[in-house]
């Protein structure tokens, strides 16, 4: 059940051309995704976790190779730790990929207990194998000289990935009328590429290509996300009415407690008529900016054409404190072009 030790000369070129390319793709996707402030929806949280798994596994892959071949044998515990971290993030990606596809159809509170078992249980089994491998040596074994060999547990991890991808294909095909065409095509395309890459790396352990296919999947999944600009109000740089309906619906469906503060900014029309529309818009932007910075845990929504805002206050934040701060601030004049 053991494989021969990896030849470092054969492996280095793949690290340079695949792992480093995967890291570059992940960093690019993180920069693109976080360039906009997005709603904290269940799907967005899953996508963020996918980005984290893709980046960490892509970084840890070359790190584990370098540590295995260059650290002295006395660092075997560290090598075990690095390989465990790498394997946990790598094998967590298929589970998150499944969750992402579920989120296209259902909100978090709509997921059944059976679906949660299907989602989480296989990964828990994989995680148990990975975490206990320093004692059991079921996944890999660090030899006394510091080199390592794969064990039969690797087959279980590969089977877990195949399970997730098979379930995803079945789930997407069954719900093909409810999902976007681009998601259906991206899932089916990605399945072929990822399974081929996973099998190639499983069969030829010196070909480190799995991370690159994973990083490419983040691009495909980003294309299926709801455009964050659809939830933005460009005049005030806050969220819009559609975003409020979505956020409130998710909170109500999830049976989470929250408060809503309504704010109407008076005097915008007077300033626009007397000092010009540009100054009226500046005043509105200043008011919206203050509300946004009031508490970063709260979300601010511009819900009318001009002057009305709503603030959703999550549980744990005192709305009365925020109301007092808003009243205190709006009793003080705003300064525009050195004029109050």
In the predicted model, is pLDDT for residue 174 greater than 50? yes
Q: Is beta strand 148-150 parallel, antiparallel or unpaired with respect to 232-233? A: unpaired
Strand partners, 308: 264
Find the range with the poorest average confidence among 32-36, 104-108, 181-185: 181-185
pLDDT in tens, 134-151: 888 888 887 776 667 778
Q: How far is the C-alpha of 179 from the C-alpha of 165, rounded, in Å? A: 17
- Please check whether residue 161 is in contact with residue 210, taking contact to mean a CB–CB distance below 8 angstroms: no
Closest CA to 270 of 262, 280, 278, 261: 280
Length of the chain: 340
Give percent of the chain above pLDDT 70.
82
User: Which tokens in the block code for residue 1?
Assistant: 């059940």
pLDDT in tens, 277-292: 777 778 888 888 888 8
Specify whether the backbone of 149 is left (phi greater than 0), alpha (psi in -120 to 50) or beta.
beta
The whole-chain average pLDDT of the chain stands at: 80
pTM of the model: 0.73
Would you state the pLDDT for residue 122?
Answer: 93
pLDDT band for position 205 (50/70/90)? Answer: low
Closest CA to 185 of 194, 176, 195: 176
In the predicted model, is pLDDT for residue 199 greater than 90? no
User: Which tokens in the block code for residue 34?
Assistant: 């976080």
In the predicted model, is pLDDT for residue 232 greater than 70? yes
Would you state the pLDDT for residue 229?
Answer: 67
Cα–Cα distances in Å, from 118 out to 99, 115, 166, 220, 285?
A: 10, 5, 12, 24, 47
Q: With residue 7 as reference, give the H or E element that holds it.
A: none
Q: How many CA atoms lie within 13 A of 129 on its CB side?
A: 22
Instruction: Find the angle CA(169)-CA(172)-CA(177) to the nearest 5 degrees.
Output: 150
* Higher per-residue pLDDT: 301 or 201: 301
* Higher per-residue pLDDT: 199 or 95: 95
pLDDT band for position 227 (50/70/90)? Answer: low
Cα–Cα distances in Å, from 186 out to 18, 150, 191, 193, 259?
A: 21, 32, 8, 10, 39
Return contacts of 311-317, CB within 8 angstroms, 24+ apart.
Answer: 311/260, 311/261, 311/262, 311/263, 312/244, 312/247, 312/248, 312/251, 312/258, 312/259, 312/260, 313/258, 313/259, 313/260, 313/261, 314/256, 314/258, 315/256, 315/257, 315/258, 317/259
Q: How far is the C-alpha of 300 from the C-alpha of 272, rounded, in Å? A: 23
């Amino acid at each position: 059940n053991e494989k021969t030790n990896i030849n470092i000369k054969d492996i280095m070129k793949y690290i340079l051309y695949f792992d480093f390319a995967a890291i570059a793709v992940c960093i690019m996707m993180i920069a693109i995704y976080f360039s906009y402030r997005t709603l904290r929806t269940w799907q967005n949280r899953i996508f963020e976790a996918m980005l984290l798994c893709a980046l960490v596994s892509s970084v840890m892959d070359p790190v584990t190779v370098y540590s295995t071949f260059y650290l002295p044998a006395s660092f075997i515990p560290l090598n075990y730790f690095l390989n465990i971290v790498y394997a946990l993030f790598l094998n967590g990606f298929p589970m998150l990929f499944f969750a992402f596809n579920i989120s296209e159809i259902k909100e978090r509170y709509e997921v059944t207990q059976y679906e949660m078992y299907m989602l989480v249980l296989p990964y828990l089994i994989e995680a148990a194998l990975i975490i206990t491998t320093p004692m059991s040596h079921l996944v890999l074994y660090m030899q006394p000289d510091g080199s390592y060999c794969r064990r039969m547990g690797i087959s279980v991890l590969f089977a877990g990935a195949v399970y997730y991808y098979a379930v995803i294909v079945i789930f997407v095909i069954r719900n093909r009328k409810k999902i976007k065409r681009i998601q259906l095509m991206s899932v089916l395309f990605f399945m072929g590429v990822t399974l081929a890459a996973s099998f190639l790396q499983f069969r030829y352990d010196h070909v480190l290509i799995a991370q690159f296919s994973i990083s490419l999947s983040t691009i495909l999944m980003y294309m299926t996300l709801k455009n964050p600009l659809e939830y933005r109000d460009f005049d005030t740089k806050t969220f819009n009415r559609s975003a409020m309906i979505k956020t409130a619906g998710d909170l109500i469906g999830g049976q989470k407690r929250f408060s809503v503060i309504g704010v109407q900014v008076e005097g915008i029309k007077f300033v626009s008529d007397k000092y010009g529309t540009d100054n009226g818009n500046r005043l509105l932007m200043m008011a919206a900016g203050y509300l946004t910075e009031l508490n970063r845990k709260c979300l601010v929504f511009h819900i009318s054409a001009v002057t009305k805002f709503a603030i959703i206050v999550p549980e744990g934040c005192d709305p009365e404190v925020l109301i007092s701060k808003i009243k205190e601030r709006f009793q003080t004049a705003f300064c525009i072009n050195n004029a109050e």
